[in-house]
Amino acid sequence: MAEIDSTAAEGLERKLATILSADVAEYSRLMAQDEEQTLRTFRGHKEVFEKLVALHRGRVFNTAGDAILAEFGSAVEAVRCATEIQAALRTRNDQLPEDRQVRFRIGVNLGDVMLQGEDLLGDGVNVAARLQSAAEPGGICVSGSVYDQIRNKLSLSFKPLGDMSFKNIPQAVRTFAIAEVEGLGMLPSPENTRQRRGGGLLKLTAAAVGLLLIAGGAAMWTYLDQHRSKVEFARESQLAAEKLIAEEARQRAEAERLAAERARQQADRERRQVEEEMRRLADAELKKTAAAEQTAALVPSKPVEVPTTPVQPLSADERDGVYGGQICYGPAPAVPARCFKAQAIVQKGRITGQWSGRDRNVTMYLAGDVTRAGDVTIHMHGERSDGSRLAVMDLAGTLQDGRIDAKGSFLNGRSVTLTWRRN
């Protein structure tokens, strides 16, 4: 027999888990009356259900029709999740007519289960499903194994239902209904506890007489207590819903922060690529200039002839290259004049440049045109890391004999001068 059991268990993985089973009460009636509305309401409830499961570090491992199965590593977290689900769904259902409310029954069991891919199987799951069938609409039933884990850890009131026998479950299950949750008020629970075996007609008759004697006085107390509990439950249900909304807002903010960080990193990569390209072009131009000077040193000099014809348009070789030098800002109210070094590249009639400003969070950008006649127009502006612009200015000047001279002003009238030579 041991060999047979070992063979049967080969390849199966088992573990201890807390299973939460839920389905919709009177689902067939609701669907028969209005399928589309029932499905819309169920889908909204299910979305809230799944988010609360995730908040309590559980996972939904199976859904079929109106049934939902979730797994938790902690019995305490599973029951906390179940009570918050009923509170949040109570708030949603209060907005619907009573005969159109979609209410879940929930059962929670701690037991041994088998793993099959992402799914869980075995008596541990089956008992949770049977407990759910014993719960009232909007209520929760737990097994004795769950009760033993949570009774000293959560502020709950329980209604013992005794040892209940369920279909296809070989042994009776010690069962408890959660009758009240501190801060959330009363939960629906069975009105009558299943009687254990034993006791006869005499006990039943005595109980009935006792109930009749106290019914009158208890009726008013019950009404007042249920009314108070309903108010408290509605208030705490709203708090649970607000908690869920706050968590969704936090997740959205985190997603936006990550997107902004990715955009900043992309901008930094592009800036480094531009700077690297400018350095490469500058190095190439320096090597080209050094080679030209060496060649010129080997060629005998010729007398300089004064041109007698109009100045010819500049060729690409005469215009293109890396230019650098001083940019000077004139004085402004409470701001002194200052100069700093920068450089740009002239290539194919375009002049472009980029460098960091005095503020490390500001990048300066330069762009413009150089005509074949040597006329230069330049636009400059600063840009913060958040994309906003500042220090916008326009300049005009000339490129002659390897030198750019240009003047202009800021939008506020502050003067700007630029004197650069080709490197």
Residue 128, pLDDT > 60, answer: yes
Question: Domain 13-192+222-254 falls in which CATH fold?
Answer: Alpha-Beta Plaits (3.30.70)
What average pLDDT score do residues 138-164 get? 95
Residue 197 has pLDDT above 80, yes or no: no
Give per-residue pLDDT as tens, 313-368: 888 888 899 999 999 999 988 888 999 899 999 998 999 999 888 788 889 999 99
pLDDT band per the 50, 70, 90 thresholds, residue 225: low
| Cβ-based neighbour number of residue 278 at 10 Å | 18
Least trusted range by pLDDT, from 130-134, 212-216, 306-310, 376-380: 212-216
Mean pLDDT score across all residues of the chain: 84
Report the alpha-carbon distance of residue 181 to residue 150 in Å, rounded. Answer: 13
pLDDT of residue 228 exceeding 90, the answer is no
Residue 15 and residue 112: Cα distance in Å, rounded? 6
pLDDT of residue 300: 52
d(CA 368, CA 258): 35
Task: List CB contacts of 93: < 8 A, sequence separation 6 or more.
Answer: 101, 102, 103, 138
Q: Which of 111, 162, 155 is CA-nearest to residue 141?
A: 162
Domain 318-422: assigned CATH number: 2.40.128
pLDDT at residue number 161:
96
**pLDDT-wise least confident of 30-34, 215-219, 277-281:** 215-219
pLDDT band at 413 (very low <50, low <70, confident <90, very high): confident
> Cα(399)–Cα(395) distance, rounded to whole angstroms?
13
pLDDT in the model for residue 334:
80
What's the CA gap between 382 and 180, in Å, rounded? 64
Q: What CA–CA distance (Å, rounded) separates 176 from 329?
A: 82
- The residue among 188 and 1 whose pLDDT is bigger is 188
Q: Do domains 13-192+222-254 and 318-422 have the same CATH topology?
A: no
Domain positions in the chain? 13-192+222-254, 318-422
How sure is the predictor about 249, in pLDDT bands with cuts at 50, 70 and 90? confident
pLDDT higher than threshold 70 for residue 215? no
